[in-house]
Structure 1
Amino acid sequence: MTTGLDWANLFIYRKITMKKFKFTLISTALFAVLGCQEAPQQNQVEAQTQAQQQVAVAAPIAEKVPHKVMIHGQEFTDNYHWLRDDTRSNEKVLGHLNQENAYADSKLDATKQLQQTLFEEIKNKVVKDDRSVPTLNGSYYYFTATEGDKEYFTYFRSEHKDGKNAEAIFDANTRAEGQNYYGVGALQISSNENLLAFAEDTLSRRIYTIQVKDLTTGKLLEDKIEGTSGSVVWANDNKTLYYIKKDPVTLLGFQVFRHTLGTPQSDDELVYEETDNSYFTNISKSKDKSTIYIHHGSTESSGVSLISADDAKAKPERFIPREAGHEYSINKLGDWFYVHTNKDAINFKLMRVKATDVKDRSKWQTVVEHNPDAKLESIALFNQHLVYETRENGLTQITVSNLDNSKSKRLTFNDPAYTAYLTGNKNIDTDSVRIGYQSMTTPASVFDVNLETLDKTLLKQNKVLGDFNPENYKSERIFITARDGIKVPVSIVYRKDKFKQDGSNPLLQYGYGSYGLNVEPTFSISRLSLLDRGFVYAIAHIRGSETLGRPWYEDGKKLNKKNTFNDFIDVTKALVEQKYGDASRIYARGGSAGGLLMGAVINQAPTLYDGVHAAVPFVDVINTMLDESLPLTTNEYDEWGNPNDKTYFDYMLSYSPYDQVKAQAYPNLLVTTGLHDSQVQYFEPAKWVAKLRDLKTDDNLLLFKTDMEAGHSGASGRFKGIHDIALSYSYFIALAENKI
C-alpha cells in the first residue's frame, strides 16, 4: 500500500558503530540562570557566547589536506579525501558534519514555521486508519493496515476476501520500538502457512537479520540469521530457508545459503556463490511453488539458476548458460517455461519452451514478437491467459491474451500521462488480473480486470483527506526537442486556477536518467502543497531511462551519459520558452544518480536554476568507480564505464560533478545525505560541498544537511519521512517567495 508521498524509496549495507558526537552551543540563558557571575565575567561570557554563535552560523570551511594519487600517468589531488571515515566515528569528521548541520539550520531558520505547516498539511491529507486490498496467496488473503499516528504497517491475513476476522501476523510498530531507524525486508510464509520468516534492518544500511515467527503460537523461534540481503525463500518441507549473505566489504549479496530451523547459522550450507562481482544475486520462488530461482543480474547480462523446492539437498542448475549481453527472466506454467529475453530483440520478446527442451534453442517458440517501437516490460501468467505490459511512446499498455487461441485485447486509459502496472497476482487459477493505476491527478487505484471481458472492478482508490478535488488539477504530456534533434517526453502537472502560461509560475523539474529506471507520472499527496502554491511540476523523462524503450537507455549511459544532462537542461530551457515557468524561479531536484544529474547540470548551466536540491547525490564519480571496495562499484562498470580504461576515465572525468567544480557562480543549493548511506557514501556530498564552498564565486545559499541516523532512503516511518519532504519543499517555496 502506498500513501503517494513522493520521497522515500528514491534509492544500501555494512553494520557500523558510530560514536555519537554532538555540536553544542552555550546559551546566554544558561548564564542568566547562574546569576552569580561578576559583571566583567558576565560580559566575557556573553562575548564568548556571541562569538560561538557567530561560528555556528558561519559557513564551515573544510581543511585542505592534499591526498595525491596517480591515475593513467597523471597526478590528481583530492584535498577533501580526509572526510571519508568508514567507521563513522572520527570526531573531526563528525564535528564538521555537525557544523554543516548547524549552519544549514541557521540559514533555514526562517523556514521553520513553513516546514511545520507543510508537515501538518501533508500529514493531514493522509488517511490515518487505512488498509491495502487483500491479496489471495495460498489459503489466505493478505493485506497491510495502518492505524492512527503509528509510523509502520501491521500485516494481516484472513480466510475471507473482504478481510473480515483477520489475524495480525506481524506488527512492525512493535518491532520498531526503541529503534532510530526500522525497515522490513522480506516477509515469507512457509508452505504449511504456519511459519513467517521476516527480515529487519535497524541501521538503514540494508543489512538484514532474519527471524521466524510461529503463527500457531505467536512466538519467535530461536533462529537468527544475520548479515543478509533481506531476501528469504522457504523450501516446501517447512523447515528449510534459503537466504543471501552479504560481503562485509563490498556489501554485495553474493552467497546463497540453506538454513535448517533449529540449527545455528554457522552450520548453514553454502548452496551458491557468485564469483563475478559485476553481478547482483537475488532469490524467489515460482508461482506454482515448485521451484526456487536464484537470479543473477548485472547491468547488461542476467541469468537464472533453479533449485527444486521439494528437495532440501538439491543443487542449483543453470537454466541456460550465461552470455554477455543476454538478459532474460523466466516464469513457469505447468511443464512450460516462459522466457522474457532480449536475444536478438533489443526491446525484448517473449518465448516459451517445455522444461524438457530448455537446452535446445530450436524448440523455443515465440509468444510475443519483438517490437522495435515498444519495450516488453513484464508478464503475468494464468491457467488460460497471459497478461503483459509494454511501454509504447513512453506510456504503459496492458494486453490480455488467451493462451488457447492467442486472441488479444488491450486495456484503455484516459489520462494523458499515467502509469499502469500488474500487482498482487499470486495465483495461477483465477478469472481476473489485478492492476494498479494512477496519474499525476488520479490517486493510486487498484482494479480487478476480468480476463475475458476486460470489465474493470475498482477495489480501492487511495483517499486524500481535506478539500482535494482532482478536477482542480491538470496534467499534460509534451515532447521537447533536445539539441541533437531527439524528442524528450515531459510530464507536467499544475493547479488550474493557479497557472497562467505566461511565464509567471515557479517551476520545479525532477529527473533521474540512469539504470534504465523510469520516473513514472504518479500521484503524490505531498506534491499538492507545491501545486496549491502555484508551482508547476515537471518530470523530464530523459535518456538513461527506458521511457522510450531500451535504445533510450543505451543512449544515456557510458560514453553517451552526457545526453542525460543535455536532455534535462534542454527541457528546462524549452519549458521557460513555452512559458510554463518563470525564468527567475526555476528549480530542480534529483536524488542518488539523479543527484549526479543535478551536479552535472549546475556545472554546465549554473545560471539556469534559482535553486537545486541534490539528495544523496552520486557526485564523486571517478574516486568511487576506481575503488572496488565500495558498494555497487564493480557491478556498475556497464552503467558508467570502467575508469581503469582511459577512454572511459577521460569521459567520466569530463562530467564528474566533484572533479568539474570550478570558480563560477552556482545556484542556491541544498544537499542532503544520510551518515549510514551505503549506496552513495556520505563523504561524496561532503567533499563536493567543501569544494564548492572553496571555489564558488557567488553569495547564494550552499546548505548541507546530514541525517546522522539515516541511510540512503532517508527517515523510516510513514510520517517521519514527511519532515524530509517538508524541508525540501519549504526550501523551494521560500526561494520562490524571496523568504531566504
Structure 2
Amino acid sequence: MPTVSPVSNAPVAHKAAGSDPYAWLQERDTPEVMAYLEAENAYQQAQLADQAELREQLFQEIKGRIKETDLSLASPWGPYLYYTRTTAGDEYPRHYRCPRPADDSPTVDESREELLLDPNSLANGGFLSLGAFNVSPDHQRLAYSLDTSGDEVYTLYVKELSNGAVQALPFDDCDGSMTWANDSQTLFFAELDDTHRPYKLLRHRLGSTQAETVFEEADGRFFLNCYRSSSERQLVLLLNSKTTSEAWVLDADHPQANFTCLAPRVEDHEYYPDHGQLDGEWHWFIRSNQHGINFALFHAVADSIPTRDQWQVLVPHREQVMLEGFSLNASALTLSLREGGLPIIEVQPQGRAAYRVELPDAAYSLYVQDSLEFTSTRVRLRYEALNRPAQVRQLELANGAQQVLKQTPVLGPFDADDYVSQRLWATAADGTRVPISLVQRRQDVGKPVPLYLYGYGAYGESLDPWFSHARLSLLERGVAFAIAHVRGGGELGEAWYRAGKQEHKGNTFSDFIACAEHLIASNVTHAEQLVISGGSAGGLLIGAVLNQRPELFKAAIAEVPFVDVLNTMLDPDLPLTVTEYDEWGNPEEPAVHERIKAYAPYENVKAQAYPALLVIAGYNDSRVQYWEAAKWVAKLRATKTDDNLLLLKTDLGAGHGGMSGRYQGLRDVALEYGFVFKVLGLA
C-alpha cells in the first residue's frame, strides 16, 4: 500500500529491489497498484479542491461559447446527403441522412431525415469511441465499430438500414477498420496481434459466421490498412513501417480474387497509391520518395498492374517543397504541399493552368476536408488560424473560386481582430531557425504576459495553428498561447522530421528550450510566467526539458507522457515497441541504449527543483501505458528538492485520448486551466 508523507500528505510509492525500483507499478490490476493510483487521484482532487468553483465557471464559460445544438455540413453521396447533428446535453453527435435535393445543394430536409446511429444511447454514460462508420456502396447497410473501454480494441457491427436490425460480427481483437467491396456484401477488416499491431486482413461475407484470412504481415515493424480508392473501383491494402511501405491492390468489383502487389517493398522506399483518371483514362497515382525525401508524384496507366519502371513523373521532387498528399477528382488533381513551414493547396485542373489557393492569414491550418464524390467539380477545404474559427470553404476546382459554406460559431462576445496571431523565429544552438506560432490579446502585445507553450516534435507530425473555443479562457485572462514547431515534427518537410529523430532526437529538446528562451528574451513572457505542455511523444519532450532546464519554467502539463521510453523500447512484447524502432532506435544496440538513456525523462530525474507539474494518464491506454506516468511521478516525488505541486490524475476508464464525451473533455480542459491559473496566481 502507498505510504503518506507527514509533510505533504502526498502518496509515496515504495521502492522495490532491483535496477528499476518502481517497476512494480507495471503489475496491472493488482490491489497495490490500484491503491497507489487511487491515492494519487485522491491527492490530486484534494490539492485542487479549492478550485471546484473556478473549474465549474471555466466549464460553463467554455461550453457557453460552443453552439451545443448544431448541424454539420452535409456531404453528398449517391442519392443521399450524410451529416451529423449535435444536441445540447448530448456527449456525442448523432448520424443522419436525408434524400439529396434535386438542385444538388447541401440543404438538409429534416422532414425526411433518417437516423443512422446514436452513440449516446450506445455509450450509456460510459466510455465510447466510434471507429469505422462506413455505409455500403448500395446505401443499404452501415458498418461501424465501437471501443467501450479506451484500449482501442473494437467490436464490429452491421446495421440493416431498411429495418434497423443490428448484427454484432463474431470476431475478436479487431482494430476497428471496416472496408466494403462494391458488392455491398463483402467486408474487409483487420485483426490485432499481441502487441496491438494491425497485422492480419480478413474477408467476411455477410450471412456467414466465418472470416477468411487474406493477408498476414509477419514483420513487427509494419502496420496493415485497407481502404477504397478515390475512384471507388479499387481496394488498396497498405503495409507500412516508419520508413518503408508496400501496397497490394484488388478490383473492388471482384472481392473474392487475390490482392496483387503494386511494387515489392524495398527498405526506405515509401509509396502511397490511389486510383483515378488522367485525360479520361484510368491511372494509378503514386506518391513516392524514390526521387527524394520530399516525395514526387508518379502515374501509370491502370489497364494492368504497372511495374515500378513504368511509373512516370507527374509532379517532380522539389528540394524546398514537401508533397504531403494528394486528392483525386475526375477533373482535377489537388496537391497538399508544405513550404516555408505552412500548408499549401495546389490544384491542377485537367486542361487548365495550375494554381495555389489564396488565404488571408500569415499562419494557419489548411487541408482538404472532403474531396466529395469522384465526379464532383468541387472539394471542401478546412481552414483555421489561432484567432480565426474553423471554416469549411468550397473550392471550384476549375477556376479556384471559394465560398465559405460554414464557419464554426463562437457564441457570446468574440472578435477575431481582438487577438493578434504572429509567426516568430527562434535560433537553436546550432544556428537553425525554429518557427513559433503565437496568439495573444491585441492589448497585451509588447509587454510580458503569462504564456502557455505547447510542443510535440515527433513522427513528422505538423502542429499547424488551430482555433480553440477553450483557449479563449486563457487569452481573455491575459495568458498568451504559443506552439513551438520543433524538429522531429513535419512543419518544414521531411528533413525537419529526420533532424529530430533517432540520433538527432536531442534537437527536439534544444529547439523547444530555444523557443522558450526566445519568448523570454523578446519580452513576450518571463520564466516565472511560463507554462509548458505536451502529450504522448510531446510528454517525452516536456519530461526531457524539465530535467535539462527546470528553472526556465513555472509549471508543466504532461498528458499520457511517453517518459519511460528506455524501458518501453527494451520490451518488444509491449504494443508498438517494434515498429517504433525506426523512430527512436533499438536499445538492444549498445550505442542506441546509451543515446536513449541520456535523455529518457524517467532515467534522468535528479535531485533538483522542478516546476509545478500536472500529469495525466489513461489506465486503458494501449499506446503509452499508464505506468509510464505513474513511475515518473513516483520517482519525481522521491527525488525532487522543491515543494511545488506534483499531481497525477489517472483516468481509470479511459485510454490514450482521455475521456470520450465532449462535455467530459471540456471538464478535463477546465481542470488543466484551473491548475495553470492556480500556479500562476491568476485564480
Corresponding position of 2:574: 630
Asked whether 1:726 is paired with 2:677, we answer no
**Cα distance, 1:362 vs. partner?**
3.8
Task: Read off the aligned partner of 2:185 and give its amino acid letter.
Answer: K
2:377 aligned to 413, 431, 434, which one? Answer: 431
1:609-651 deviation per Cα after TM superposition (whole angstroms, max 9, x unaligned): 0100011000011110010111110001010001011111110
Whole-Å separation in 2 of the counterparts to 1:223 and 1:650: 47
> Which residue in the other structure is 1:78 paired with?
20
Of the three residues 219, 229, 247, the one matched with 1:286 is 229
2:638 pairs, out of 694, 701, 709, with 694
* Aligned-partner SS, 1:312: coil
Q: Distance in 2 between matches of 1:56 and 1:445?
A: 52
Contact map agreement 2:4 2:10 (CA 8 A) in 1: no
> 2:609 — aligned with what?
665
Alignment of 1:473-552 (within 5 A): 473-497=419-443, 499-503=444-448, 505-552=449-496
Which residue does 1:163 correspond to in 2?
A: 108
Measured in 2, the distance between the counterparts of 1:638 and 1:493 equals: 35
Q: Does the Cα contact within 8 Å between 1:57 and 1:102 map onto a contact in 2?
A: no
Shift of 1:357: 6.0
Counterpart for residue 348 of structure 1: 295
Instruction: Please list, as runs of the form range in 1=range in 2, the aligned pairs for 1:423-462 lying within 5 A after superposition.
Output: 423-462=369-408
Q: Which amino acid aligns with 1:539?
A: I
Aligned partner of 2:118: which letter?
Answer: D
Please, which moves more after superposition, 288-297 or 88-97?
288-297
- Give the Å deviation of 1:222: 5.5
Separation in 2, partners of 1:402, 1:460: 25
User: Could you tell me how far apart the structure 1 residues matched to 2:190 and 2:196 are?
Assistant: 11
Residue type of the alignment partner of 1:465: L
Q: Is the 8 A contact 1:257 1:272 kept in 2?
A: yes
1:546-585 aligned within 5 A: 546-585=490-529
Give the alignment partner of residue 148 of structure 1, picking from 88, 111, 116.
88
Question: CA-to-partner distance for each residue in 1:71-107, whole Å, 9 max, x for gaps?
Answer: xxxxxx100000002xx32111000011111111111
Mapping for residues 151-300 of structure 1, pairs under 5 Å: 151-160=91-100, 161-164=106-109, 165-178=112-125, 180-221=126-167, 223-247=169-193, 249-264=194-209, 267-300=210-243
| 8 Å CA contact 1:541, 1:547 repeated in 2 | yes
Q: Which has the higher contact order (CA 8 A, sep 6+)?
A: 1
In structure 1, which of residues 358, 364, 375 is the aligned counterpart of residue 311 of structure 2? 364
Deviation at 1:343, TM superposition (A): 0.8
Residue 617 of structure 1 aligns with which residue?
561
Q: Does structure 1 conserve the Cα–Cα contact (< 8 Å) formed by 2:156 and 2:168? A: no
Instruction: Please give the per-residue CA displacement for 1:430-474, whole angstroms capped at 9, x wherever unaligned.
Output: 221211100111111101111122111111000011111112111
Q: Distance in 2 between matches of 1:312 and 1:547?
A: 39
Is this contact kept in 2: 1:339–1:350, CA < 8 A?
A: yes
Equivalents in 1 of 2:15, 2:355: separation in Å? 64
TM-score, scaled to structure 1: 0.89
- 1:40-119 matches, within 5 Å, as 58-67=9-18, 77-85=19-27, 88-119=28-59
SS at match of 1:607: helix
Greater mean deviation of Cα atoms: 339-348 or 103-112: 103-112
What SS does the aligned partner of 1:731 have? helix
Q: Is the 8 A contact 1:223 1:263 kept in 2?
A: no
Counterparts in 2 of 1:53 and 1:121: CA distance versus 1, 3 Å: farther
Q: Which amino acid aligns with 1:316?
A: F
Q: 1:289 Cα deviation (Å)?
A: 2.0
Partner of 1:227: helix, strand, or coil? coil
Q: Residues of 2 paired with 1:598 and 1:117: CA distance? A: 28
Contact 2:230 2:329 in 1 (8 A): no
The answer on 1:305 being equivalent to 2:248 is: yes
> Distance between the aligned counterparts of 1:241 and 1:353, measured in 2?
28
Q: Deviations over 1:186-237 (max 9, x none)?
A: 1111121100010000000111101110001111135343321111011222
Matched residue, 1:315: 258
1:418–1:440 contact (8 Å) kept in structure 2: yes
- Where does residue 103 of structure 2 map in the other structure? none
The structure having more radius of gyration, on CA atoms, is 1
Structure 1: how far apart are the matches of 2:334 and 2:319?
A: 20
Q: Which residue of 2 aligns with 1:127?
A: 67
Cα distance in structure 2, aligned partners of 1:159 and 1:445: 25
Q: CA deviation at 1:124?
A: 1.0
Structure 2: runs of 5+ lacking an equivalent: 101-105
CA deviation string 1:486-527 (max 9, x = no partner)? 000100001112x14232x10110000000001110101000
Q: What SS does the corresponding residue of 1:597 show, helix, strand or coil? A: helix
Q: Name the structure 1 match of 2:76.
A: 136
SS of residue paired to 1:284: strand
Distance across 2 between alignment mates of 1:408 and 1:358 = 29
Task: Find the aligned partners of 1:116 and 1:53 in 2 and give their Cα distance.
Answer: 29
Contact 2:273/2:286 (<8 A) preserved: yes
- The structural deviation recorded for 1:417 is 0.9
Larger displacement relative to structure 2 (321-330 or 161-170): 161-170
Paired residues of 1:510 and 1:589 also in contact (CA < 8 A): yes
C-alpha RMSD of the superposition:
1.7
Structure 2: which amino acid aligns with 1:385? A
Residues 454-463 or 309-318, more deviating: 309-318
C-alpha displacement at 1:730, in angstroms?
Answer: 0.8
Instruction: Report the counterpart of residue 7 of structure 1 in structure 2.
Output: none
How far apart in 1 are the matches of 2:646 and 2:68? 36
CA-to-aligned-CA distance 1:682-739 (integer Å, 9 cap, x gap): 0011111111111111111111111111111001111111111111111111111165
1:648-689 residue CA offsets vs partner (Å, 9 max, x unmatched): 111000000001111111111111101111110000111111
**Distance (whole Å) between structure 2 residues aligned to residue 205 and residue 642 of structure 1:** 25
- Give the one of 377, 380, 387 matched to 2:334: 387
Query: 1-side partners of 2:251 and 2:664: how far apart?
Result: 42
Identity %: 39
CA distance 1:281–1:56, shift in 2 (3 Å): farther
Q: Judge conservation of contact 1:222–1:262 (CA < 8 Å) in 2.
A: no
How many positions carry a matched residue from both structures?
672
Letter of the 2:471 counterpart: R
Residue 388 of structure 2 aligns to a residue in which SS?
coil
Asked if the contact 2:4/2:12 (under 8 Å) is kept, the reply is no
2-structure distance, mates of 1:377, 1:158? 34
| 3-state secondary structure, aligned to 2:323 | strand
State the AA in 1 paired with 2:10. A
SS in 1 for 2:539: helix
